[in-house]
């Protein structure tokens, strides 16, 4: 058991996408960002990206980062929301839904990587709030990852289902290295 929890270990954790120092990560050779949507850059199922997050993503793009949203949309209809968010952020996107591979299937992340010119296992970073999809998928694929806590408020249906498991995994992982943090 103690060994299997390591499958969920992110390379780093951060307080928020807004606090990640993408410039410092670029110096480590990373420049392609696979970015989860729900709970990571928006409240779950909402359309609004908080300004401090949008601003940090724009700064990353100005610094040469390319971004692809990667979201398990479940249904084709829900994919439209991801498309609209990608338009607003001026980035690529892939909405994963049945019968296509979904996270944590590493194939889903490979498909998202193929949306970014020159994305390789060496220059791509995954950022997300779910250990069981985002971080596990990144570890399957062999790319670094940053876990961020879900943006509040987390709806009740999520709290009584997936969030319980997510929080249990966070506790089981213990110490996680902090990602390079942006100083405002
Ligand atoms: Mg999420």
CA–centroid distance, 133 to ligand 1, in Å, is 8
pLDDT in tens, 113-148: 999 999 999 999 999 999 999 999 999 999 999 999
Q: How far apart are CA 37 and CA 72, in angstroms?
A: 9
Q: Which CATH class is domain 11-173?
A: alpha beta
Q: How far apart are CA 130 and CA 116, in angstroms?
A: 23
Q: How far apart are CA 98 and CA 138, in angstroms?
A: 20
Please determine, for residue 183, whether its predicted confidence score (pLDDT) is greater than 90.
no
Tokens found for residue 166 = 């997510």
pLDDT in tens, 147-175: 999 999 999 999 999 999 999 999 999 99
CA–centroid distance, 42 to ligand 1, in Å, is 9
Average pLDDT over residues 67-94: 93
CA–centroid distance, 97 to ligand 1, in Å, is 14
CA–centroid distance, 110 to ligand 1, in Å, is 18
CA–centroid distance, 5 to ligand 1, in Å, is 19
Nearest to 138 by CA among 113, 163, 115: 113
CA–centroid distance, 167 to ligand 1, in Å, is 13
CA–centroid distance, 38 to ligand 1, in Å, is 4
CA–centroid distance, 160 to ligand 1, in Å, is 15
Which pLDDT score is estimated for 12?
Answer: 98
Tokens found for residue 76 = 């084709």
> Would you give the distance in Å from CA 29 to the centre of its chain?
18
DSSP 8-state secondary structure symbol assigned to residue 124: E
CA–centroid distance, 177 to ligand 1, in Å, is 20
The dihedral over CA atoms of 104, 110, 111, 116, expressed in degrees to the nearest 10, equals 130
Phi/psi at 140 (5° precision) = -60, -40
Provide the residue ranges of all domains of the chain, joining segments of one domain with +. 11-173
Q: What is the full DSSP assignment across 76-120?
A: HHHHHHHHHHHHHHT-EEEEEETTS--TTSHHHHHHHHTTSTT--
pLDDT band at 30 (very low <50, low <70, confident <90, very high): very high
Which pLDDT score is estimated for 2?
Answer: 52
CB crowding 60-81: b at 16 or more within 10 Å, else e:
bbeeebbbbbbbbbeeeeebeb
Single pTM value for the model: 0.96
Q: Which residues surround ligand 1, an ion (CB under 5 A)?
A: 36, 38-39, 129-130
CA–centroid distance, 132 to ligand 1, in Å, is 10
CA–centroid distance, 39 to ligand 1, in Å, is 5
Q: How far apart are CA 74 and CA 152, in angstroms?
A: 22
CA–centroid distance, 29 to ligand 1, in Å, is 25
């Amino acid at each position: 058991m103690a060994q299997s929890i390591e499958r969920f270990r992110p390379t780093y954790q951060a307080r928020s996408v807004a606090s990640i120092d993408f410039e410092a990560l670029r110096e480590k050779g990373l420049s392609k960002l696979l970015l989860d949507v729900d709970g990571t850059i928006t409240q779950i199922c909402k359309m609004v990206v908080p300004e401090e997050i949008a601003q940090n993503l724009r700064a990353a793009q100005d610094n040469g980062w390319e971004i692809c949203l990667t979201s398990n949309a479940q249904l084709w209809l829900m994919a439209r929301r991801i498309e609209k968010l990608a338009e607003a952020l001026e980035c690529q996107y892939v909405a994963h839904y049945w019968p296509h591979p979904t996270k944590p299937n590493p194939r889903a992340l490979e498909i998202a990587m193929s949306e970014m010119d020159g994305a390789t296992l060496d220059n791509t970073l995954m950022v997300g709030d779910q250990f069981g999809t985002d971080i596990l998928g990144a570890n399957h694929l062999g790319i670094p990852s940053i876990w961020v806590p879900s943006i509040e408020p987390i709806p009740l249906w999520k709290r009584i289902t997936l969030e319980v498991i997510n929080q249990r995994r966070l506790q089981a992982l213990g110490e996680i290295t902090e990602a390079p943090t942006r100083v405002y």
